[in-house]
Amino acid sequence: MVTLLEGFDTIKFASNSLYAEQARAYLWKQRPDLAARTVQARDYQLGEILLVKPLAAFLGIRNLGENCC
């Protein structure tokens, strides 16, 4: 599936912030050359899932720390 991204100059993940960050981290592990082409999408929409955002941020930071090295 990742090979489908090879033809694009920029790569955006359209998802909520938690899943977009996980996708970027996964791509860095699998294909750093393609991950270098990622650009920030509009992950956050003002007021979107307002009560879930703090939990999603905490989980995302925790998971990135666990999978970092």
**pTM of model > 0.75:** no
Give the residue numbers spanning the domain of 38.
Answer: 2-67
Number of domains making up the chain: 1
CA distances from 58 to 1, 6, 11, 39 (A): 29, 32, 25, 22
Question: What pLDDT, in 10s, does the model give residues 27-58?
Answer: 999 999 999 999 988 766 667 677 887 887 88
**Dihedral sign, CA of 41, 4, 63, 33?**
negative
Question: What pLDDT, in 10s, does the model give residues 9-33?
Answer: 999 888 777 788 888 889 999 999 9
- Measured CA to CA, the distance from residue 42 to residue 65 in angstroms comes to 23
**Dihedral sign, CA of 66, 19, 33, 37?**
negative
